[in-house]
Amino acid sequence: MRITEIREHTIPVSRYQDPAVASGGLTTSLVAVTTDVMREGKPVIGYGYASIGRFAQGGLIRERFAPRLLAAGDRDLDDENGVTLDPFRAWRLMMTGEKPGGHGERCVAVGALDMAIWDAAAKMADLPLYRFLADKLGREVGVAPRVAVYAGGGYPYPHDDLARLSDEIRRAVDLGFTYVKIKIGSDALDQDLRRIDAAARGLASASHLAVDAMNRFDLATGLNVARALKGYALHWFEDICDPLDFATQAAIASAYGGPIAAGEALFSQAEANLLANYGGLTPGRDVLVFDPVHCYGVPGYLRIVETMTAAGWSRDAFWPHGGHLFSLHLCAALGLGGAELTPFAFAPFAGLADGMRVAAGQIDVPQSPGIGFETVPAIWQALQALH
């Protein structure tokens, strides 16, 4: 079997449900991978996108990685039985000639294509992705697994911030979420504490609230914030400083003493190893929020899981960033702790698939073949623009 066509399209994505609120010009790449395998008279097409937060990757996809997939021979992408597409073989072809290091943006381009390839392969097998992946890895999964989730969002509003944040928390709780994550670090500490107080009032307690500093703090500022946050007993304190400044992170983690979340802006097995050895994190307490798409897709993410579990971390510590259906499938297949969902931000990828409901902080995984993008009208409409 062969990949016959790969299309990429760049779209804007916003941190806010209201697109009129300025959001920094974020974009992402949509991709469609068309194969020569036919189902019901149509070619099997896999879809993916470049997650959120790192901008679109059209140049790298079109000029570097898509040509390698399109040049594959008739059997180069087949699985060992010659009956379906093998995403691991496709990944190795994409990485042909790539040197170690330099993870910056190429990891996102590879991850977006990897997502689409897994979607196509699972569709060929007529299985939801979590089942297809678990079978390929020899793992047991339930018939209809449920995944723990939290609502990501809570970005500062330019006007009426506390009132609008409180409303966002209320709506998340109304949808069935029991844990929520908000952003801090873009304003003075006093305002951040007011945001935390406002959000916590809408939840069972502050222990159901996580805060994300988006890697903004230096050592002095981070220590000051850590001291101020200590008494809240927050669910976790995420992305404190520059993601590669492990010394600063370790110092702040030591001073803070509560759960720390890290890994969203780390993209490789080598960086995960540095985090494990020098990041000052504690297995059993802290949280790992690597984004599978930004980590070169499934093969790269599996290497990170292997590295961290070898360093004493349980799979329960993994809570993938990104808020997408792809992460739900990986959580179900790999037995991870849970996943982020974005109920309001980053349209068209906001919200839930048709028929999906959050209950007591958990959600079902889509049962349609592949990832299930077709079950979310807004996503499916956006993906059709690729054709």
Catalytic residues: 183, 321
- Cβ burial, residue 316 (10 Å; 0-12/13-18/19+): middle
Token pair, residue 298, equals 């499934």
The residue type found at 255 is A
Q: Which residues make beta-bridge pairs with 238?
A: 212, 261
Given a contact cutoff of 8 angstroms between Cβ atoms, the answer to whether 234 and 210 are in contact is yes
The residue type found at 17 is Q
Given a contact cutoff of 8 angstroms between Cβ atoms, the answer to whether 250 and 280 are in contact is yes
| Stretch (H or E) spanning 37 | strand 27-39
- Strand-strand pairing, 236-238 and 260-262: parallel
The residue type found at 270 is A
Q: Which of 382, 387, 353, 283 shows the shortest CA–CA distance to 29?
A: 382
How far is 29 from 327, CA to CA, in rounded Å? 17
DSSP 197: H
Tokens 């003493």, residue located:
257
* Displacement of CA 112 from its chain's centroid (Å): 11
Give the count of beta carbons closer than 10 Å to the beta carbon of residue 88: 16
SS3 at position 19 = coil
* Displacement of CA 273 from its chain's centroid (Å): 20
Q: Which of 307, 271, 300, 330 shows the shortest CA–CA distance to 109?
A: 300
Tokens 């793992």, residue located:
139
